[in-house]
């Protein structure tokens, strides 16, 4: 049984932006502000990942308006760092006991942050907690009590900040996609508990992707899964061959469905196969961990001025 929390002041929230339209950010921040409440005094950290000027202006305005009592900060990068690098820098720049990571194209239920924090309060072995995620292509878990999970996606998460960094955080080798699956596997192998909390919800929209966006999504996913599978396989060759053998069928399926950008992205990722296999081999020989992350952060930190 969990104890109700008096506040969320020990929970920081990271807002990562790149090229989101202002109207999407308005919906997102309205929902997050309802989940934090007007008196929330945690850190609201805006991470600008080479954003469009309109996206940056809209995101900064949302932070100023929606979180009047929060410690509002900005971490701005002129180049796109990808998800894993940006999140490692952001979590390191936070100061709360917990840090919430929430995709900008989704909306938390008003009780989500409080419920996830209560679950982590009650289970010290758990390093991550995630809600049910509802939307196109999501699992749409039915309501129920918290339960252990093999993997948790990075769509909406609450993490123990210091412990997550000490365990290695996200591996920067994963630019975009599959960094959450890699971290899940590393954390469980180290004895940490991951919890799905399906009695609260995050609604994930995923709408409005351009043809270029579809191409990038499929390309990034295909190129990073080429690292993930051989890196974590018990039998790397035997477990990677079916993935590669199925690629032509996947490309054909996308083409038959009229998804030319997606098919092109998957096909192009095959050119990076030698690099992916080399990275997987390097990680198997020398796994990513907290000491390596600490050295990477020492080289990579960016200023986080107040907004």
Q: What is the CATH number of the domain that holds 75?
A: 3.90.550.10
* pLDDT reported for residue 210: 84
Does any domain span residue 3? Answer: no
Same domain, 73 and 177: yes
Q: What is the chain's pLDDT, residue by residue, as a tens digit (307 residues)?
A: 567 888 999 999 999 999 999 999 999 999 999 999 999 999 999 999 999 999 999 999 999 999 999 999 999 999 999 999 999 999 999 999 999 999 999 999 999 999 999 999 999 999 999 999 998 877 778 889 999 999 999 999 999 999 999 999 999 999 999 999 999 999 999 999 999 999 999 998 765 568 998 999 999 999 999 999 999 999 998 999 998 899 999 999 999 999 999 999 999 999 999 999 999 999 999 999 999 999 999 999 999 999 9
The per-residue pLDDT for 208 is 54
- 171 and 188 share a domain? yes
Residues in a beta bridge with 18 = none
Residues 163 and 59 in one domain: yes
Look up the domain containing 137 and give its range.
11-207+291-300
Residue 273 lies in a domain: yes
**Residue 305 counted as domain residue:** no
Report pLDDT for 206.
Answer: 62
107-110, long-range: CB < 8 A, 24+ apart: 107/27, 107/28, 107/30, 107/31, 107/32, 107/202, 107/203, 107/205, 108/31, 108/32, 108/35, 108/156, 108/200, 108/201, 108/202, 108/203, 109/35, 109/200, 109/201, 109/202, 109/203, 110/31, 110/34, 110/35
27 and 88, same structural domain?
Answer: yes
Task: Kindly state whether residues 175 and 267 are assigned to the same domain.
Answer: no
pTM for the structure as a whole: 0.94
Does residue 101 belong to any structural domain of this protein?
yes
Same-domain check for residues 100 and 246: no
Domain count within the chain: 2
In-domain check, residue 219: yes
**Are 193 and 260 members of one domain?**
no
State CA 49 to chain mean position distance: 14
Q: What's residue 3's pLDDT?
A: 74
């Amino acid at each position: 049984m969990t104890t109700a929390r008096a506040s969320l002041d020990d929970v920081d929230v990271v807002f990562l932006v790149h090229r989101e339209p202002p109207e999407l950010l308005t919906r997102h921040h309205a929902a997050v502000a309802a989940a934090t409440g007007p008196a929330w005094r945690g850190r609201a950290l805006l991470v600008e990942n080479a954003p469009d000027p309109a996206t940056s202006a809209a995101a900064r305005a949302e932070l100023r308006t929606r979180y009047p009592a929060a410690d509002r900060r900005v971490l701005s990068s002129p180049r796109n760092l990808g998800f894993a690098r940006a999140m490692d820098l952001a979590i390191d720049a936070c100061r709360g006991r917990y840090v919430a990571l929430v995709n900008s194209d989704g909306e938390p239920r008003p009780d989500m942050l409080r419920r996830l924090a209560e679950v982590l309060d009650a289970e010290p072995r758990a390093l991550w907690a995630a809600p049910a995620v509802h939307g196109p292509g999501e699992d749409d878990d039915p309501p129920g009590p918290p339960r252990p999970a093999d993997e948790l996606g990075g769509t909406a998460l609450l993490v123990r900040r210091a412990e997550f960094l000490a365990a290695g955080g996200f591996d920067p080798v994963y630019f975009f996609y599959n960094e959450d699956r890699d971290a899940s596997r590393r954390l469980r192998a180290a004895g940490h508990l991951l919890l799905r909390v399906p009695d609260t919800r995050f609604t994930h929209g995923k709408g409005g992707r351009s043809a270029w966006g579809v191409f990038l999504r499929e390309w990034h996913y295909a190129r990073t899964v080429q690292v993930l599978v051989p890196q974590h396989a018990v039998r790397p060759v035997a477990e990677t061959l079916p993935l590669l053998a199925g690629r032509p069928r996947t490309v054909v399926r996308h083409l038959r469905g009229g998804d030319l950008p997606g098919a092109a992205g998957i096909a192009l990722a095959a050119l990076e196969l030698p690099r992916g296999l080399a990275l997987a081999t390097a990680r198997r020989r020398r796994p990513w961990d907290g000491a390596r992350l600490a050295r990477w952060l020492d080289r990579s930190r960016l200023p986080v001025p107040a907004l």
